[in-house]
Structure 1
Amino acid sequence: MRLAQVLLAVAAGLAQAASLAWPGGGQPLWWLQLLSLALLAWLLRPAARPTWRRGALLGGLFATAWLAGTFWWLFISMHVYGGLAAPLAAAAVLGLAAFLASYYAVGLGLFCHLAPASQAQAAILFGAIWLLAELARGTLWTGFPWGAGGYAHVDGPLSALARHVGVYGIGAVAAALAMCIAHLHRWRAWAGVVALGAIVAVAGRQPDVSHSLPPLSLELLQGNIPQDEKFQPGSGVPVALKWYAQALRDARADLVVAPETAIPLLPQQLLPGYLEGLQQRYAHGTQAALLGIPMGDDIEGYTNSALGMAPGQAAPYRYDKHHLVPFGEFIPPFFKWFTAMMNIPLGDFHRGAVGQPSFAWGAQRIAPNICYEDLFGEELGARFIDPAIAPTVFVNLSNIGWFGDSIAIDQHLHISRMRALEFERPMVRATNTGATAVIDHRGVVTHQLQRHTRGVLRAEVRGRAGGVTPYAWWVSRWGLWPLWMLGILACLACAAGARRAGPATPG
């Protein structure tokens, strides 16, 4: 294998990482994602007769560079805040990227082994294998689909597909389109591009399935507590308790939201009357509040939770985080030696259930999610099986302070935007350091607070009710299984066609 091919695969992978949130600006670049993947497709096109070993190696190099370039900021949490030696932290990031890249290496090795005979088969098979690799990364070992290629398309023409097939479906279409681009010197590839463009155009002309509700005024609190002080009793903890309590008492909006672990202590660790005072503040009147706080004890276990307070409640609303962060909220088996090397408050939290009830307030059904739970649309979708009680607004409570002033903030914002597109529901975000923002049901950021500042974002959001999107309908019933089956069937059909047609002809 030529060194030039290796370098091209790595460069294309880094370009794919940059397409998700361009460094310096943070905007997604859908065209760069297509071009980067098209370069990989060109290296692996059947006419070049790549062996399965070459496909696996080039695919693995591309994916490792892409993933390491996407979540390199994990280095900050492990080294800067966790105290892990820099070489070990860098090795951990690279090792995680290489492990997750193995899904793509296996898939693209299979693609080259099957050597589809026609350009149409190559495009379909490439898209199907890409889909299966993305699904595997997003579901196996609790899943870590951060940086899926579809997130580069929240502003592009393929965004129209989100309400039908979700981010994974967009990624599959983008991969098929990339293989067509790699063959643009052949007229049949142009036909494939036109056909995919027509599908996207039709999808984009579908009317909204939901209707707008009256506006809900918001106050989103951003404490900007330094991460290295956030859980320190002598610094970050008293500052957080004082500032959030004052902001919650002074708020005038219909809904006030404080971020993940805004209250950084368990209820029994708080001064007597602290939490009761906040509950009493919202026991009367016309306002409600959601705030992040850890809950539990040594006997029942601990949860990363959100408490909802509103007039007329017999007890506060409670949402317990379901999708926990490995090494942050639970320690995988055989890895205690690794977490022991870091100075991070780690522990084993209990999981909440999938599809927990929404926080009902006025005409709204507010569905909280915590931290990177908005990365798992199939889990958020469980709440849409009955349109009559489906959420009208999503609320994400996060703390990205672990990753400093990095591109992780923009990447997470685009993830929330994709969920808004998939479900046609607005997403409200309250975070410790950013991005504290309001996203409408079209995935457009309408309001955003300056990052790494302490302040309150005052805005309005219009919830949506009524029907549900096609994506919400099928994912609430069957999860991601329809995509798994579609990818597998496409691979089997292309494999059968390749065997009948024999080897591909050079072109």
Structure 2
Amino acid sequence: MRWITHPGWPGNLLAAVAGSLTTLALAPFDIWPLAVLSLALFYLGLRELSPRQALLRGWCYGFGTFAAGTSWIYVSIHTYGGASALLAGLLMFGFIAGVALFFALPAWLWARLLRRTYAPLADSLGFAALWVAQEAFRGWFLTGFPWLYAGYSQLDGPLGGLAPVGGLWLVSFCLALTAAILCNLARMRQYKAALVTALVLLVSPWLAAYSLQGHAWTAPAGKPLSVAALQGNIAQSLKWDPAQIDDQLALYQDLTLKARRTDLIIWPETAVPVLLDNARGYLDRLGDFATSRQSALITGVPIRQEVRHERRYFNGITVVGAGEGTYLKQKLVPFGEYVPLQDLLRGLIAFFDLPMSDFARGPADQPLLQAKGYEIAPFICYEVVYPEFAAGMAARSDLLLTISNDTWFGTSIGPLQHLQMARMRALEAGRWMIRATNSGVTALIDPQGRITEQLPSFEPGVMYGDVVPMSGLTPYLHWRSWPLICLCTLIFGWALWQRSRARRQVFTTTPAQ
């Protein structure tokens, strides 16, 4: 315990180990109690440090979190980005060291402004509020990196019932509050009122979540729709090879023509690896085939448009057959779809010149896709990991759709983490989610976040199943994160006021020298 709570390298090393436990709490391991343990160790490790010491301790925790949880980045850079093992390792280290700062700054702020060792209950509330602020800031700053959120551990855990009520961040708040209160129970024995309040705050979220498990917040808006989701399993090394394009188009055409008659036919991200302008004839023919079956075919395809007299390229989705609409991706993957500081970085290594790494960002006011008379909220790959962004589109929809190409991550845990986040979006929205990918994981997800159909990864095939259009809004879609934002703001304000009040009392009671 002394190593955990005191400054020095043993405590910093234990903080890194505590951060790495987050990975085991998430997919594919799903040992959800480790999320509480990780947060508790982080809290204990900060409780007696100076602000400067807390800054380093927070960075170590963040480094352990991302070193263990984002190993798939090395696969993308080395295997598919053309970087040597040494260079890929150095780039990954630099990335991890940078994003670990997202934990360092909140640790410093908590030790500097919010920590109140003489008021353990307020101390616990301040820690939980700052934890949520850290996750939200991490998902926004410089386009965000909303990965490895603690709340995902509860998708199949006891707190999952809170996701439709307040979203992922409400779950994260309750986890952080639980961890901090457990660490402070012994200190609150002498304060009876505080102890009773702490026990109520400790138990209530878990009881409420348990009572809400499986609750139907939304209702069917029509009859089930049959779905055929195609998984081509195109090797990433062949994906953008001009000599392989005709074979890829033929593969998806053959899978479609041989598939069973369904209402929706879904192809994955950039299943058509040529510009939409050049693929019009191909898609028109398949659109006629879909129309003859009264089906809507939805596919990923790069799109070229004129924007302010400039030719721009977008990662997009289009609908043919019994539907209409085009969607341009809004949340782009750094280095994969655009290169920050590209005037400096392009040409240095192959990783900075990946195919289709010069996409533009789509506008924010796009209409949803329409198919078979229903509104479909589309998310391309990375977009589904943004809780608030996804909620805004889901609230206008009857169905959710995400298409992706996770082949970049190989056989790492990245695709399974990605799938877990898509499942959480379905649970938050109370809507069915169709997920079509190039190599896995292609799946259908029900409004409770459960997988009803799934294809094996790294195998070509067609997944069949049914989805149900849904109407109504979950509390989270209706209110979004505003209630939680207000709560955290009140906690911050109260904690700062109490700190200022305590300092004034100390000042006024100190004898004059």
The CA distance in 2 between the partners of 1:194 and 1:444, in whole Å, is: 30
Q: Is the partner of 1:273 in helix, strand or coil?
A: helix
Question: Is residue 180–residue 189 contact of structure 1 (8 Å, CA) maintained in 2?
Answer: no
Code of the residue aligned with 2:383 in structure 1: it is E
Residue 33 in structure 1 maps to residue 35 in structure 2:
yes
Match of 1:383 in 2: 393
Q: CA deviation at 1:98?
A: 2.2
Cα distance in 1, alignment partners of residues 175 and 131 from structure 2: 9
Query: Which 5+ residue runs of structure 1 have no aligned equivalent?
Result: none
Deviations 1:278-328 (A, max 9, x none): 1221233321111111111675311111111233x6xx4211111111112
Match of 2:4 in 1: none
Deviating more after overlay: 249-258 vs 422-431: 249-258
CA contact (8 A) 1:225 1:240 kept: yes
Q: Superposed, which structure 2 residues align to 1:382-401 within 5 Å?
A: 382-383=392-393, 390-401=396-407
Q: What is aligned with 2:263?
A: 254
1:501 shift after superposition: 4.0
Query: How far does the alpha carbon of each residue in 1:85-107 deviate from its partner, in whole angstroms, 9 at most, with x for none?
Result: 22222222222222222132111
Write the letter of the residue equivalent to 2:350. Answer: M
Conserved? CA contact 2:13–2:60, under 8 Å: no
CA deviation after TM superposition for structure 1 residue 79, in Å: 1.1
Q: Which residue of 2 aligns with 1:121?
A: 122
The 2-side partners of 1:427 and 1:189 are apart by 43
Q: Contact 1:59/1:104 (CA < 8 Å) preserved in 2?
A: yes
Distance in 2 (CA, whole Å) between partners of 1:202 and 1:485 is 20
Q: Which residue of 2 aligns with 1:89?
A: 88
Structure 1, residues 404-459: CA drift from partner, whole Å, max 9, x if none?
01101110111011101111111110001111011100011111110111111111
Selected match of 1:329 from 320, 331, 337: 337
Is 1:423 the counterpart of 2:424? The answer is: no
After the TM superposition, which residues 296-315 of structure 1 pair with which residues of structure 2 at under 5 Å, given as runs? 296=304, 299-311=310-322
SS at match of 1:396: strand
In 1, are the aligned partners of 2:431 and 2:447 still within 8 Å (CA)? yes
Q: CA deviation at 1:246?
A: 1.2
Asked whether the equivalents of residues 358 and 368 of structure 1 are also in contact (C-alpha less than 8 Å), the reply is yes
Q: Does 1:349 align with 2:359?
A: yes
- Shift of the 39–421 alpha-carbon distance from structure 1 to 2, 3 Å rule, reads same
- Give the structure-2-normalised TM-score: 0.88
AA aligned opposite 2:158: P
Question: Counterparts of 2:276 and 2:170 in 1: how far apart (Å)?
Answer: 43
**What is the CA–CA distance in structure 2 between the aligned matches of 1:413 and 1:253, rounded to whole Å?**
24
Q: Is the 8 A contact 2:158 2:209 kept in 1?
A: no
Q: What displacement does 1:498 show?
A: 3.0
After superposing the two structures, state which structure 1 stretch, 440-449 or 296-305, moved more: 296-305
Report the Cα distance in structure 2 between the residues aligned to 1:246 and 1:320, rounded to whole angstroms. Answer: 27
What SS is found at the alignment partner of 2:106? helix
**Distance in 2 separating the partners of 1:415 and 1:347:** 24
For the 8 Å contact 1:135–1:484, the answer to whether it is kept is: no
The residue type equivalent to 1:356 in the other structure is Q
Deviation at 1:203?
4.8
Counting only pairs closer than 5 Å after superposition, residues 209-228 of structure 1 correspond to structure 2 as: 209-212=217-220, 213-228=222-237
TM-superposed deviation, 1:193: 4.8
Q: What is the TM-score normalised by the length of structure 1?
A: 0.89
Higher gyration radius (CA): 2
- SS state of the match for residue 469, structure 2? strand
Identity of aligned residues (%): 34
1:80-479 equivalences in 2 (<5 Å) = 80-114=79-113, 115-116=115-116, 117-186=118-187, 187=189, 192-206=198-212, 207-212=215-220, 213-235=222-244, 237-251=245-259, 252-270=261-279, 273-296=281-304, 299-311=310-322, 316-333=324-341, 336-337=344-345, 340-343=348-351, 344-354=354-364, 356-362=366-372, 364-383=374-393, 390-465=396-471, 467-475=472-480
Asked if 1:2 is matched to 2:8, the reply is: yes
Matched letter for residue 218 of structure 2 = S
Structure 1 residues 461 and 407 mapped into 2: Cα distance closer, same or farther (>3 Å)? same
8 Å contact kept, 1:355–1:380: no
Q: Is the 8 A contact 2:155 2:424 kept in 1?
A: yes
Q: Distance in 2 between matches of 1:150 and 1:292?
A: 30
Asked if the contact 1:81/1:227 (under 8 Å) is kept, the reply is yes
Separation in 2, partners of 1:58, 1:184: 23
Answer yes or no: is the 8 Å Cα contact 2:369–2:375 preserved in 1.
yes
Measured in 1, the distance between the counterparts of 2:441 and 2:199 equals 36
Query: How far apart in 1 are the matches of 2:343 and 2:20?
Result: 29
Aligned residue for 2:238, secondary structure, equals coil
CA distance in 1, matches of 2:343, 2:148: 24
Q: Deviations over 1:358-413 (max 9, x none)?
A: 3333353222110111111211222356xxxx212111100000110110111011
Q: Is 1:59 paired with 2:54?
A: no
Cα distance in structure 2, aligned partners of 1:407 and 1:137:
21
- Residues 342 and 249 (structure 1), Cα distance of their counterparts in 2 relative to 1, 3 Å cut: same
Contact 2:170 2:484 (8 Å CA) reproduced: yes
Q: Is the 8 A contact 1:81 1:228 kept in 2?
A: yes
Provide the aligned length of Structure 1 versus Structure 2. Answer: 482
Residues 295, 304 of structure 1: 8 Å contact kept: yes
Contact kept, 8 Å, 1:217 with 1:254, in 2: the verdict is yes
How far off its partner does 1:133 sit?
1.1
Aligned to 2:508: none
* Greater RCO structure (CA 8 Å; 6+ sep): 1
Deviation readout 1:447-493 (Å, 9 max, x if unpaired): 1110111111111122211x201111123xxxx56544543432221
The worse-fitting range, judged by mean Cα deviation, of 82-91 and 340-349 is 340-349
Partner SS, residue 56 of structure 2 = helix
Q: Please, what is the CA RMSD of the aligned residues? A: 2.3
Letter in 2 for 1:469: T
Report SS of the residue matched to 2:416: helix
Q: Take 1:11 and 1:393, find their aligned partners in 2: how far apart are those partners?
A: 40
Greater shift, 115-124 or 437-446, is seen at 115-124
Cα shift at 1:336: 3.9
Distance in 1 (CA, whole Å) between partners of 2:112 and 2:452 is 48
Does the 8 Å CA contact 2:263/2:372 hold for their aligned counterparts? no
The answer to whether the Cα contact below 8 Å between 1:119 and 1:189 also exists between their aligned partners in 2 is no
Contact persistence 1:183–1:189 (CA under 8 A): no
